[in-house]
Every structure is written in C-alpha cells, then in structure tokens.
Structure 1
C-alpha cells in the first residue's frame, strides 16, 4: 500500500472518530470498532486507572458511565486528534502473520484531554470489514502529560546568567529538602525503584529511595555468578539513559549492577543505603500521610510521606519443606544463595527446578567440573532458545530509534488480544524455529509445554511472564545443549518423598544421591512478603494479588491503584518499569494537584 494511501485511510478514520469523541457520542465512537473483537486500551485518559475493554458493548458501557454528572466520554473530552507522522510510529502497513492473516493500517496520533487538562498520545490498528469500511481492531489512548506540569526534558545546570549555586550545592540543597519531607518514599533501589525515582524527579516530585543493601546494584551483584540478562540489551535500557554501544548483547549481572550504581548518581537520585522499614507503616487517613520508621544505618528515622511505593522485586525465596531436610549431610540451599560452584568440582549435584535459574546453575556446575549434574523437573517447562527469543524481540524500527517508541507500540496492544493470537496458532512459528532443540530435549526426557494449564491454550513465554512472572520458563542460553548431550541429566520428580543424609528419595522409591542440592524453586507471591512488611490490617484491604492478569488483561496492582490510598507497587521487567513509571508519576502528581 502506498504511503499516501496509508495516510489518507488513517486521517479519514481519525477525523471521523474525533467528531464522535468531541461531541460525546458514545454510539458513534463505538461504531468505529469491529463489531466482533475490537478492543480499546485506556491508560488514564478516561479514568485514573488502566482499562482494557474488549468488544463494542463493553467499550460503550465504560464510556457511558456517569462521572461528575456527565457520561465518561463527554467528561474527558478527548479532541484535536492529529496523526503523529514525525516519529517511527507514523502510519505504516499492519501485518500480523499467522492463521488469521491480519493486514491493515496502523499508526500513532496525538490528542488533547479536556478534563483533566492533559496531553495524550494514541495508537490505532485498522482493518477493513466485510463492507470495505476501515474499523479499529485495537485503539490505545494514553495520557502523556498534565498541562502546566509537563515532564522536564533537561536539567538546568551548567552555564546560565545569575547562577547563585554550584551544581554540587544545588544537588545538596535538593537532597536536604527531600530528606526533610519526602512526598514519596520508594522502598527498593533496583531498576524499578530507580526508574520510578528518576521519573518522579522529572515531574518535580520529591522522592526518597531506601535500599537495604550497602550499594546500589547489590540486588543483582549478589546473585549467582554466571547470571546474565536473558533478553537483548536494547530491551533492557534504563529510562533516560541507554547503555553504551560497547555493552554486550546480553549484560552480565556485575556489569548491570555497576551501571545501576552509576545511574543513581547520573540521575541525581536521593538514596539512603543500608536502610529498611523497621516497623509496620501506619496510614493516617485524616492527613493522608504515612508514618514510616526507617532503620537508616545505625539510626532510627521517622518519615511522613504521602505516598509509599513498594519496588521490592520478587517475593522472598520459596523453600519447600520435605521430611529429612535436616538430615541431609551435603550442602542444601536456595538458588538465590548460589555463589561458588568450584567447591563442588568432582561432586554430585542435584538442582530442583527447570526454569531459568535452574538452567543457569546447572551450566555453572558443569563448567566447574561437577562429576554429575541432575536437574529435577517437577512440571513441564516452556522453553525458547535465545536465538529465537532475539528474533521475537527484534525491534521493528531502524537502529537508533529511541526504545520509548518501541515501548509505546508494544504497550498499545491489549495483552488479552496478544494471548488470543498465540492461542489461535501464533505460537506455532516460535515452536518451528526451535524444533531441533525441542526434539532433543524430549528425547532426553525433558517435558515441554506452552500452556499455563492443560487445555487452556498455548500462550508461550508472554503468557508465563504476565501470569506467573516467568515462572515455568527457560530462555535457553546453553543448558538445553547440555541436557541433550547428557551432561545435565533429567529426573522427572514431581513427587519428592523425603531427604535423608545421602540425597533425595521420590515417592516411586527412586533415589538421587547428592553432595549438594540447590532449590531453584522460585519465589513466594509478592503479597505474602508484603503481609510481613505492611501487617495484616493494611494487607487485608488489598486485592489478593500483585502481578498476574486481571479479568480485562491488565497487570494486577502494578503501577496503578493498589486498593489502599497512598500505596503503590512498582515491579516488573525493565521495559515495564521504563514505560509505566510515567503513569505512576502522573497518578501521584494528579493526587498532589487535587485533580484525581
């Protein structure tokens, strides 16, 4: 399709739906979607939440709800729709290979929100219906900035007239103001906490980060030695600060940890190291403030922030209990505490767990000369090779395109729609690319799956990431070859009976002798960890899950209202933190301005 046709189709459709939006005509607005299957993803434009509406009736119902005496569509007043034709997301052909053979037109646009006064950006995917009319397969509406409180794009340091303070003095003064009265307290100085703090700073909000470790990056630095990121560097960029072009395609954990340390300095983030919450935080609804006791080094400090952001990452290590664990005479520990494979050279090792951590640790033992390495696989695993994953992560844009454009397009697609495409046959292409790997793994006795539960449909890695925080997946960077070659043996062992002084016994009577047993058994649910931090009174007011998908396909309680005033959860992949930190900042800013 010629570029002029792409622009004409996009402009005509956009002009028509703008008329419906600006006049508050929900029926006309919905008529611009496919009657069957059209979806809208809205982030903060029509409500102060994240919503995915699938099908015309749900979209109409949402937009017709009354807010301050007006239907939601009229109340929000989205208008002034304009094609965003100066970015990588300008109108382009839409093509999704697969059994449904989806073809059409896609592109970004900008708009204005009337209430609150804000700027927005959207993305549409159009297809022709049976009558040849262009209809929306998906529509994304996304708040970008609150008018008059736009995100600062640059620091004001350097040469300027009338300078009264040096850069060091300016930063020191700002830090003192934050420490005296932080608007936001962020618990956790990993990538999610750091990017949230950097975003809040650009929005003019005082944010203090507390980090339990002695150095920024230690949450990565202290993990098992051979850990690298399992996805390409481009996708794992930090907000405002891409990695140097000399960085490897897959970043080692130590190099990443050092980058996070420098990031905190470069972004001028106010951080208290060796600091943690010392007692259960208390929320005062009359003042809308928390009282939080902080153990800051060897001092106790009380803070009264308005917002508490929990960026604590995974839950605590999940350590199963079996009879006889205290009788085992070898080394027994969770994968989080794996440090030194060399001391098991010439020894027999059993790794319980067949996900990413289990695979990496098996590789580490083989590399350091363990005489026998056995992986206990308790459930089938979703396996994708690093080469195949890299193809799926490949950016559709030219080199040098800001990763934010990729974030925008990726998050414009309803997750429920993505998973349905996978279930409808979209996963077959990925499986075909890895056929040799999968055949070899099966022959070695390794069980594979692409379903979250039997009969639920093949959703692949995306489904596991968003439903289970990637538990049950292996992005294979080498362990698969070791399994196929027999250098890592596989034991199917869902039914572990007990441990004794020599190793593991299974319920069928079989036994694995071991000098070391590593439990690569994942992590407890976040809410279990949060109960210990927040106490029962607050936790009982919250929905049962953080992470996982809600009924509409949005991630539960993550970068969105938690269910308790002034309490937020910030976690997820680099890309999720990079993109949704903006929405967290906008929601907090709106509450501070009294317009949410």
Structure 2
C-alpha cells in the first residue's frame, strides 16, 4: 500500500520509468501501466500522430523507439500544474505532467491515472499522452531584430523593394508551399516562421479572408470566440461571442498582415509531381495575370478544408427535369439573391438549417427534406463539451495539452457518450418538439453525439441558433426523403399523389472527402498512398491530418480552429525536423496501400493510415 502523496508518487513513477527505459526492461515497464492502458503520441516518440492500445502495445512501442528517439530525463514538470487529483468519487483521476528529452527535442508527457492504494505510487496509469514541444538547436527568430529588419541584396535597396522581391520569390523556391490561405494555411505559415522555415501561401481568392466572406450571408461561428483563439495574436476585446463570417474574414486578413505572412492571392494551384531522386516537388501555380510558375518546394501543405472541399451532389430521381433552380449549398449567399417564393432544402445538417432559416426570415416558404437522422443540441449545450476553453482562469496552452489527452480513443469515446446522454437530457424539450414536427433525431455513431460526427463525417448535426424554434413552430416544414417519389418540373412528387411545389432546390448535401482533391492535384497514385482524409483511422487518430501521410513531403491541415491551433504547431515541428534530416527512414509512414499496420520494425513503430 502506498504511503506517498500524489506529488511524491508521480516523482517516483518518473524515476522508475526512466530506469525501466534505461535498462530496457519490459517487465519493469509493464509494472508502470494498468493492463487496460493507452498511449497517444504527437511527434515526441514516433515523429507522427499515433495511438497504442493495451499495455503490451504501449510497452512494445516504448522499447522499439529507444535507439532512435532516446527518451530520457523524465521528471515532474515545473512548467505545468503540479500532480493533482481531479474529479470526485468514481470520476476521480490523478493528473501529472512530466518533462523529458529526446535525441532531437524536448517533450512533455501527461498521465491520467486512477487512485490505487495498492500501488506503490498511489495510482495506476490508464493513459499517457506525449507531445513534442521543441526541437533542439532550433532558434526562434529574434524579437525586434536590430537594424531595419532586412539585409539589402544590393546597394540602395529599400525595405519595400526587398519585401516585394521576397514575396515574389523571384529567385529560388520556398521550402514549404501552402495551398489555401484560410485559417489552416495562415496558422501553418505562422508556426513555420517561428522555427525559421520559409513558406509561401497560395490562395485562389482575391483577398485573404474571402473563404469566409464569400459564404452565405447569415453565417456566424457556432462556437465561442474563446474557443477559436489564434496563436501569436489575440482577438480584440470588442469582438462578439459568436463571430460573424465577415468579421472572421477581416480577422484573417489582419492576421496575415500583422505576422507578415507571404500570400499570393488570385493564384491557383494546378498540381504537383514529386521527384524521389531529389525530394522536391514540381508545383505549378497560375498567377492572377495568367502566367504560370513552377516552384520546387520540399514540402507541400494542403490547407484547403477540414473535412472536404468539393461539393457532394447526389443523384436524385427526376431532378434533371425540375424547371427551377438547383444549387449546392456552397453556392448560396442570401435569400435576396434568389427571386423565389417556395424552396426545398435537401438535408438537415448545419448548412441546411442556416439556409432554411435565412429563407424563412425573408418570406420564403421552406421545406427541409430529411435523408437521415440528425443530432440536434442547443448551441449552449453543445459548447459544454468545451467547458475548459470558456474558463478564463485556464491558459489556452494548458487547455490544448489536456485536450490532447481527451483524444485518446477510449477516453474520447467514453467521454462523448457520457456527454451526449447528458446533452439529450438538457435539451429534452427541444428534441421532443422537433420530433413532434416530424424530424428524425439521432444519437450519432455509437451514441457519441455531434462532436464525433464533426470529425467522422463533418455533417449530420445542427447546433440550434434559431432554426429549430421555427421548425417546432411550424414555420419550416420537415419532409422525410422516403416520401419523395421523384422530382418533376414543378417540384417533388410525393407518395400520396401530391406535388411539393418549389422554385428552387438547394442541395445541402455536404462535401466529398479531400482524397478526391488530392487525386486531381497530385494524381491517383498519390491519393491512394494518402488514403481517406479526416476520418478516424484504426488507431483512433484523424487520418492523414497534421502528421505524416503516405506520400513523403505532403501534409494535410484543416479542421476547427481549436484543432488547428495545437496540431499545426506540431506539424510545423515535424516539417522542420524533416527538413533538417532528423526523421529516420524507419519512422516514415508507409503508403496507405501497404498491408502493414502496427509495429512492423524492431526499430520503430510504423502503420498504414
């Protein structure tokens, strides 16, 4: 039975972990983890985003990386909160942070453990999350560099001339080409600059922020400003809780200017081919004047969306005979742009609700056609899942680190099931009202609610900001898709012999997987190597996102801002490590088409993704 306090127990556990690794003792390592334990690593031990489930898998991984990674120096961290018990009763959990070094960097580890008086440490470790914090011998750019901030290329060169030459890449190529100038692309460039990597962003829009400005006019963020914090620059205090899309667009433009990020606007990425011989891409970019440039970066970051960027347009029976307008939700801006009296919106997820509400508020008779069950919560209930993000006493960096632990698959799945059950009870009146209006309410995959759906498919849920109330009141009608026999000239012919008249059909039917874009831009072979993007993989990570992909030199960024913020910092470290030649070949991710998964090398963990 332990006689140690939590802090002493954590210190003793760190010493024993260090000794077990030094002596390469599998038995000693097995004694440090509960039988049902998990480990998630972001860059520190695997140079990738990986998860390992079960004590045997955790111990095998730790032993396999000793030669190349050389983890050492484990000690209770002074930079993070002291070891403590969080929660009460059956939910009580020991939380402890540790610093450690690797051959190439410095890292942090977080453990979650259950109190256990029979353990020598006073707890049993159930999960461990390790994260690369910095690379050794990589110096951040100087703060307020001396002089004028640039070195002239020729006598008499001004800063403006120097800056234009730098931005135009008149000579050479950037180390990293970033395709997409939204939040994912900008934050990636900002983090790369922090570790001294030259990056160029190309974006097809005329202005930075147009990826928000050009969306439907009623769009506002459905999560709070605190959750959407950017690195290196804070929102001004007058920004509202839920940012309108135009405010977000202007913010992105401000962010790019403030951090002096290099963006080519009105520039289209035409595709790229990778040369294994020299490790360079030949990337073709069309500028605003129609001219084409071929750049040769070592890395390309595709930052054109989180779940998917190309509209998914289903084949609906008879729709080609409809004499009114047919558009995808991505082409919708505002009701005033369409001279219509009756509208059919196919779909019941977020865009469908937002568009239906905008049409209704502008006097249009709206029917939503529901193809599958939808998860609905009040937006206030939805944001409870991010409670720590809303607590001003908890630093964002700490929230992000803890969030890395919550993404351990068993922790995430159990937590989301518990949250969704609670959310349903809070919103029971809302859900009963919607069901009474004819809407099919679902629970998502395995009862994990809307947060899992967001990462699993990007759709299938709505966080109520007004549309649900209108539906319950009868202002927006709900029609099950199985009642539609086919579309006809005047609208939708229904199973009772009547016709639902419409002037416009709006397909709020989501987006294709980004693998389709990869195939178009890089070729089918590269797309096969990368596999599906932003789907749960066999380990529990978001496939092909932020970490290595099956194609060397190709990285994928995207997702919600609260995901992009911590993950992109890690991606930048991995890119920098690759540029410096720090990632051993045995740690490279294998192409998705390879049959291997799990630990396939005695030197390092490898897996298909």
Deviation at 1:94, TM superposition (A): 2.2
Does residue 428 of structure 2 align to residue 439 of structure 1? no
Deviation at 1:564, TM superposition (A): 1.0
Deviation at 1:157, TM superposition (A): 4.0
What is the distance in 1 between the residues matched to 2:554 and 2:39? 27
The within-5 A match list for 1:61-460 is 61-65=60-64, 72-73=65-66, 75-87=68-80, 89-95=81-87, 101-113=90-102, 115=103, 117-129=104-116, 131-132=118-119, 133-152=122-141, 155-157=143-145, 171-172=163-164, 174-175=166-167, 180-278=172-270, 280-298=271-289, 299-313=291-305, 314-342=308-336, 347-370=341-364, 372-395=365-388, 398-399=391-392, 401-422=394-415, 425-452=418-445, 457-460=446-449
Range that drifts further, 9-18 or 136-145: 9-18
What is the distance in 2 between the residues matched to 1:140 and 1:178? 44
The answer to whether the 8 Å contact 1:345/1:369 transfers is no
Deviation at 1:9, TM superposition (A): 3.4
Aligned to 1:68: none
Deviation at 1:80, TM superposition (A): 1.9
Aligned to 1:539, which of 527, 534, 544?
A: 527
Query: Secondary structure of 1:156's partner?
Result: coil
Query: Secondary structure of 2:558's partner?
Result: coil
Distance 1:234 1:162, change over 3 A: closer
Which deviations, in whole Å up to 9, do the C-alpha atoms of 1:29-58 show, x marking residues without a partner?
A: 23221112x111111222222211111011
- The answer for unaligned runs of 5 or more in structure 2 is 584-609
Query: Secondary structure of 1:474's partner?
Result: strand
Aligned to 1:21: 21
Aligned to 2:464: 476
Q: TM-score, normalised by structure 2?
A: 0.88
What is the distance in 2 between the residues matched to 1:93 and 1:64? 29
Aligned to 2:603: none
Distance 1:28 1:295, change over 3 A: same
What is the distance in 2 between the residues matched to 1:523 and 1:74? 44
What is the distance in 2 between the residues matched to 1:496 and 1:92? 58
Distance 1:495 1:522, change over 3 A: farther
What is the distance in 1 between the residues matched to 2:68 and 2:362? 64
Does residue 31 of structure 2 align to residue 31 of structure 1? yes
Does residue 572 of structure 2 align to residue 578 of structure 1? no
Distance 1:380 1:212, change over 3 A: same
What is the distance in 1 between the residues matched to 2:572 and 2:355? 38
Distance 1:342 1:198, change over 3 A: same
Which deviations, in whole Å up to 9, do the C-alpha atoms of 1:262-288 show, x marking residues without a partner?
A: 11111111111101123x412111111
Deviation at 1:462, TM superposition (A): 2.2
Q: Work out the number of aligned pairs and report it.
A: 571
The answer to whether the 8 Å contact 1:178/1:206 transfers is no
Q: TM-score, normalised by structure 1?
A: 0.90
Deviation at 1:373, TM superposition (A): 1.3
Deviation at 1:11, TM superposition (A): 2.6
What root-mean-square deviation, in Å, do the aligned CA atoms of Structure 1 and Structure 2 show? 2.5
Distance 1:130 1:400, change over 3 A: closer
Aligned to 2:575: 588
